[in-house]
Amino acid sequence: MLRLWAKACRIDPERLRGRALAIRYLDRPRDWFLAETAPVCPLCFDADVVAGRDTYLRGHWRLAEQVVCLEHRTMLLDRCPACRDRLQISFRILNDLVRPFCRKCDTILTGGTGETEGAVKVDLAAGVLPLQRQISRIVSGSPGRFVRLNHGIRILWAPLDHDGAAQPVLALWYDEPGWNCPYEARAAVSRSTPLQHLSVRWRALTLVILRDLFGADLVPGSVLSEAALTLFRRAAPLPWLTDGRDLRTSSGESVRLMLESHESTD
């Protein structure tokens, strides 16, 4: 397909191949790319306009941990600033150059149509950026830490152990009676790859909670805080979570041993 496409567009097929995510991120597992529409940075689009070139989607926006633009240090956008619908982009030619539009309401996404960043969002972006960088390093780093990172994220998004729970374990982190997992985040509950199913702000929050529960390492280590242990014990036993072990009856010691067995591959 790539060869045919290259031929039809008269582009060097090797150049196209080099743009493929699988080639550019050789050491990254497939499930750490977003499966659906990736969020965008309107300021990157504006930079394209200023440079007098076609606007284009950056490959790294598809990485599951990317929620902040590395260049502009602002949160990526996954809702249309005009119609508030989930952002799907269509590209069209305007004055001889390719420009991005919202597929739903047709608003052009350049020229400052991006949301004015509130102070909270600016702070969140600044706080999350170092976490995002660290996660990227873990994803392409040693297998042991990566396994423990996946484990930590899956625990947060596993369903609570009582029957019929639509609530993720993360609800315990909130510690607010009556807290209900919002509809937009429910698709991530019980998944083996929760980040793939979450909006930008929920992915950002997941990174913040990892920091809060597991400290500067962002992954569960051999010593777990009491708060982290409580969460581990309340996760429903999903096959990709427990390696056949029941975490509900696990003592702190057996959780520690399980994590160490992952760690030994570091």
Which tokens sit at 182?
Answer: 């919002």
98 vs 223, beta carbon nearer Zn ion: 98
Contact call for residues 87 and 37 (beta carbons, < 8 A) = yes
CA 193 to chain centre: 10
The number of residues in the chain equals 266
Q: How buried is 19 (Cβ within 10 angstroms: 0-12 exposed, 13-18 middle, 19+ buried)? A: exposed
Q: Which is nearer to Zn ion, 44 or 247 (CB)?
A: 44
* Nearest distance, CB of residue 37 and Zn ion, angstroms: 13
Beta bridge partners of 235: 160
**Among the candidate windows 11-19, 77-85, 203-211, 257-265, which touches Zn ion by CB under 5 A?**
77-85
Give the contact letters, 47-76, x = binds to Zn ion (CB under 5 A), - = no.
----------------------x-xx----
Pairing outcome for strands 89-94 and 97-102? antiparallel
**43 binds Zn ion per the rule CB under 5 A:** yes
92's enclosing H/E stretch is strand 89-94
Q: Which is nearer to Zn ion, 103 or 245 (CB)?
A: 103
Site for Zn ion in 83-112 (CB under 5 A): 83, 102, 104-105
By CB under 5 A, the count of residues binding Zn ion is 12
What is the CA angle 63-105-20, rounded to 5?
A: 25
Q: How far is the CB of 67 from Zn ion (least distance, A)?
A: 12
Query: In the bound complex, what is the minimum distance in angstroms from residue 49's beta carbon to Zn ion?
Result: 13
Ranges within 170-209 binding Zn ion (CB under 5 A) = none
- The nearer residue to Zn ion, 64 or 181, going by C-beta atoms, is 64
80: region left, alpha or beta (phi > 0 left; psi from -120 to 50 alpha) = beta
Residues that bind Zn ion in the complex, under the rule CB under 5 A = 41, 43-44, 69, 71-72, 80, 82-83, 102, 104-105
